[in-house]
Structure 1
Amino acid sequence: MANPIVSVLMAVHNGMPHLPLAIESIQQQTFADWEMIVVDDGSTDESANCIAKYAVADRRIHLVRQSNQGLTPSLNHASKLARGSFLARMDADDVAMPTRFEQQVAFLCNHSDVIAAGAGLLLIDPDGDPLGTQVVSADHDQIIQQLFQGQGALPHPTAMMVAEAFEQVGGYDESFTKAQDLDLWLRLSAIGKLANLSEPLLQYRLHVNSITSRHRSEQLECARRAVAAAYQRIGQDVPLLSHLSDRGQTASQVYRRWARMALKSGFVDVARKHAWNGIKASPWSLSHVGIVAKLMGHALSPSASLSPPNSDATAQAARAA
């Protein structure tokens, strides 16, 4: 068989129940010349069986099983099996928009100096309800400036990379358990340009645990190390990087932030859901007053603002997005 144009790299550890939707969003791409290498990283749920069923039905999907080793080694394992000219990242809980590959392949083919391209995001909550969009810079210099500040300027799960460039820099550095993408982009930027397509091409699922203090602290420590190494490679003194301090949030704070984000984007029912989740997580906190007042100002009845949300309403908001 001829080599595919795109090789999709996915690492899965206990990816249910979102995994089927993620795989099907790749199958529904308008650009069909791809292979998908899915590394099951020692899952204890039904992930491996789920992937196997898709692999039997679609010969472009390949399942690799291994003991639990973590995301970074799993992605490198998948990359070594890839045959495509471009490597596309995909996570097991996200949803790719149908034209993602079509647009990214066309962009990379038309911009030979670009070796990695990301895209904007539609942020969704754990239920798949929309929260808002994340705007990304399309300019290489702005992306580099943001990367050297430790910011995720090129969203990892949206990335499509030139395979030769990925191999040239040695792939992912397996000493990074988190922020492995930030380290990779900084190393890739030394040999070529980075870019983003401004249009949201992926539904990126947010989770409460990924933002709370324990996970956030580990993420920021790896980000500090990646940025420090990048400054050292170019022979410059490493700045203080005090902005990369532990900014972990409680579950209640995360829900309030999601509520504000959804409200700003016009998803009032989703905002109400997370305002209520925040109240349940920290019922005696006065911090809820502001978001509840804003919700009541959006022509919601008092009972709708202060009582649990209707699941049908949030589902309708997701479909509308």
Structure 2
Amino acid sequence: MPLVSALIPTYNRAERVGGAVETVLNQTHDDVEAVVVVDGSTDDTESVLAAYADDDRVRVRVNEENRGISYSFNRAAAVADGEFYCILGDDDRWHPEKVERQLEKFASLPDDFGVVYTGGVLATEEGRVTRRYRPDQRGDLYPDIFRGFHLHPHSSHMIRARDYDAVGGFDPDFPRGVDWEMTVRLAKRCKFDYLPEVLVRRTFHGSNISDEPEQLDVGRYMWKKYREEMVEYPDVAHAFLASWYLAKSRIELRHDRNYREGVRSAAKALHHQPSANAAIRFVIALTGPTGLQTAALARRAGASVQSTLLGGYDEGTGW
């Protein structure tokens, strides 16, 4: 019965962090601990966590000032005792059997597998599913991992502690895209596998970091750090650049930035990787923010229709 440590960085999420701790303690696998790092919060986070002071399964560390998500993940790992580390965002929730199912999967795999992730959903606070994350990548992911980060949700990742430690944890020089960047280094060391079931729920509440305009900087950070590696695999490099420019175009249009820049980014994506998808995105970009909003509404409508078919997810119970 290996100990599993959930690493939970939190910043000014007093209303959500308690739910993250509870989703760990409610696992069917009993040998778990929640390691929470309060990253310089100025709200009531510490008061919420004080309720667990007598529970030896909950360990809390406090950064006196905001140090960032990478630093906080690594500080949590430094005090964690688990054989496996689980990534957990303070606003994400797990199915009660998630940890148990992942450990069963690890037990069936060769020793060179270091990460097991799962399917998940993104849902509104009212329970409406807006996106389903469908795992489809396993085995040796390097260098294809540069094509884009498609191993969502990150809060589904269970990582062998030895592999996390071997790659040095998260890169504190990356203010964003830390999930993708660390996965690159893990992919150079170990193999990945997944469970297709929906075992993680992300909540869309309007203040998700992944939805901020600054996310378009992730591609720039990745290109700066890994350009020399990527260009050794031209097809991979072109796919990376196409994905980056598509993301830039979407964010530039969504947040009413320069319309011409949005179209230009879509054109660059099409140049780097000519495809039907890139062509459609380019046409949508030409229609401006209105076309993008229409496409987003159509996608959400489709996701809503599919939500009743999500295996393992019940909108009434949250699973």
Question: What TM-score comes out, normalization by structure 1 length?
Answer: 0.74
Measure how far apart 1:181 and its partner are. 1.6
Deviation string, structure 1 residues 62-89 (Cα, Å, up to 9, x no partner): 1111121010100011111111110111
Match of 1:137 in 2: 136
From the superposition, tell whether residues 215 and 175 of structure 1 become closer, same or farther in structure 2 (CA, over 3 Å): same
Cα drift, residue 265 of structure 1: 3.5
- Where 2:121 maps in the other structure, the secondary structure is strand
Look up the match of 2:57. Answer: 60
Among candidates 89, 92, 95, match of residue 90 of structure 2: 92
Paired position in structure 2 for 1:24: 22
Query: Equivalences for 1:163-312 in 2 at 5 Å?
Result: 163-208=161-206, 210=209, 214-225=213-224, 227-228=226-227, 230-231=229-230, 236=233, 239-240=237-238, 241-245=241-245, 246=248, 247-248=250-251, 249-250=254-255, 259-266=297-304
Superposition deviation, residue 6 in structure 1: 0.6
- Per the alignment, do residues 212 and 104 of structure 1 end up closer, same or farther by CA in structure 2, a change over 3 Å counting? closer
Going from structure 1 to structure 2, the CA distance change for 1:49 and 1:132 (only over 3 Å counts) comes to same
**Paired residues of 2:4 and 2:86 also in contact (CA < 8 A):** yes
CA distance change for structure 1 residues 164 and 265 in 2, over 3 Å: closer, same or farther?
same
Q: Describe the superposition over 1:149-183 as per-residue Cα deviations: whole angstroms up to 9, x where unpaired.
A: 12233532111101111111111111111111211
Distance (Å, rounded) in 2 between the aligned partners of 1:58 and 1:261: 44
Letter in 1 for 2:115: A
Pairing partner for 1:106 from 99, 104, 107: 104
Higher mean displacement: 250-259 or 132-141 = 250-259
1:318 Cα deviation (Å)? Answer: 4.9
* 3-state DSSP of counterpart to 1:175: coil
- Aligned 8 A contact 1:177 1:222 in 2: no
Number of corresponding residues = 270
Alpha-carbon distance between aligned partners in 2 of 1:154 and 1:320, rounded to the nearest angstrom: 18
The answer (yes or no) to whether the contact 2:133–2:153 under 8 Å persists in 1 is no
Between 98-107 and 187-196, the greater mean CA deviation after superposition = 187-196
| DSSP 3-state at the match of 2:147 | coil
Q: Taking structure 2 as the reference length, what is the TM-score of the superposition?
A: 0.74
Q: Distance in 1 between matches of 2:233 and 2:131?
A: 37
Cross-structure match for 2:263:
none
- The one-letter amino acid paired with 2:164 is F
What is the alpha-carbon distance in structure 1 between the residues aligned to residue 299 and residue 9 of structure 2?
Answer: 29
Q: Give the stretch that moved more between structures: 245-254 or 57-66.
A: 245-254
Q: Distance in 1 between matches of 2:54 and 2:299?
A: 39
Q: Does 1:76 align with 2:74?
A: yes
- Aligned letter for 1:61? V
Whole-Å separation in 1 of the counterparts to 2:25 and 2:156: 16
Deviates more, 1:212-221 or 1:20-29: 212-221
Letter in 2 for 1:250: H
Compute the RMSD of aligned alpha carbons.
3.1
Alignment gaps of 5+ in structure 2: 257-288, 309-313
Task: Flag the 1:160–1:199 CA change in 2: closer, same or farther, 3 A.
Answer: same
State the Cα deviation string for residues 28-61 of structure 1 (Å, max 9, x = none): 11111011110000111111211121x2242200
Confirm whether residue 149 of structure 1 aligns to residue 147 of structure 2: yes
Task: Measure, in 1, the Cα distance between the counterparts of 2:4 and 2:106.
Answer: 12
The residue aligned with 2:7 is: 9
Per mean C-alpha deviation after superposition, the further-off stretch among 98-107 and 242-251 is 242-251
% same residue: 23
- How far apart, CA to CA, are the structure 1 residues paired with 2:13 and 2:197? 26
The alpha carbon displacement at 1:317 in A equals 5.0
Between 204-213 and 127-136, the greater mean CA deviation after superposition: 204-213
